[in-house]
Amino acid sequence: MSKPIRASGRQLGVSAAVSIVGVLFALPFIAMFASSFRRSSDVREQPLNPLHGGLTLENYRQVWRETDVVAYFVNSAITTTSIVVLQVILAVGAAYSLGHLQPWGHRYLRAVIVVVLSIPVPAIAISNYLALARFDLIDTRASLVIPFVATAFGVFLLTQYVEAVPVQQIDAARAFGLGPWRRFRLVFLPNIRPGVAALAAFSFVGWWNEFFWPFIVLRTDRLATVPFLVRRFEISPTGLPDWGPLMAAATITLIPVAGLLVLLQRSFAQTLRFTAN
């Protein structure tokens, strides 16, 4: 009897800890959403009281009135989708090659990928900028997409999925005379689909919210993405953040991200379980 009781107590403790972490993680987003319906002066007076001063939709009206929300969203959708699609295509091909075909030198390539994983985007920003400037690509859509079409994280993640494909399926495919392309399409692709979905979601969330690189290469608002929409309300005429519209703009920009995470939550869970094992 003691073992089941001990196991159930451990599960209860883990569930409680996960719940607490989940609540702490959600609190900033709840505060942001609640503040988006309050006047800036009320937020400054009592930031933790969501009912102080009453609720209003004026912040959302102001964001819509003072900015071109549709243009920001269209720019972000085109840029982010282009990056995600190209990253997934290249990562799937590279992972299949490294994990299954294993050409000469694949171990060295794996080591290079691990090293690249440790290099943050700001560390290579200057070299990327100079390369783009040399080809006169600054302030173009290409300058937002080209430097990030390859992802070391994506290759590393999907390689683990490729290597986890059951050997029996691979042997059966070879026995039926399937070549590398048909093995990829009929055997590997169905097995790595959760990883591909998770990679697409991770990449989408990261590049949808990316501000650092667009801030460097864009000189006009013509191609500005949704983080610039939020930045428009960082400073009010009083010199202080315009908290109400700022929170409303932030809430609007998170709608596509929240919708995507809800749609792909199963793939996220499978990926977390896979990497944990």
Question: Residue 79's domain spans which residues?
Answer: 68-232
Look up tokens 């995600």; give the residue: 84
Note whether residue 277 is domain-resident: no
Note whether residue 116 is domain-resident: yes
For residue 196, give the CATH number of its domain: 1.10.3720.10
Note whether residue 244 is domain-resident: no
Number of domains in the chain: 1
Q: pLDDT tens digit string along 92-122?
A: 999 999 888 888 888 888 889 888 888 888 8
Q: pTM score, two decimals? A: 0.84
Q: pLDDT tens digit string along 171-219?
A: 888 888 888 888 888 888 888 888 898 899 889 999 999 999 999 999 9
Low-confidence residues in the chain, pLDDT < 70? 1-9, 235-239, 265-277
Note whether residue 31 is domain-resident: no
Note whether residue 53 is domain-resident: no
DSSP 83-146: HHHHHHHHHHHHHHIIIII--TTHHHHHHHHHHHHT--GGGGHHHHHHHHHHTT-TTSHHHHHG
Note whether residue 154 is domain-resident: yes
Note whether residue 200 is domain-resident: yes
Note whether residue 78 is domain-resident: yes
Cβ(72)–Cβ(225) below 8 Å: yes
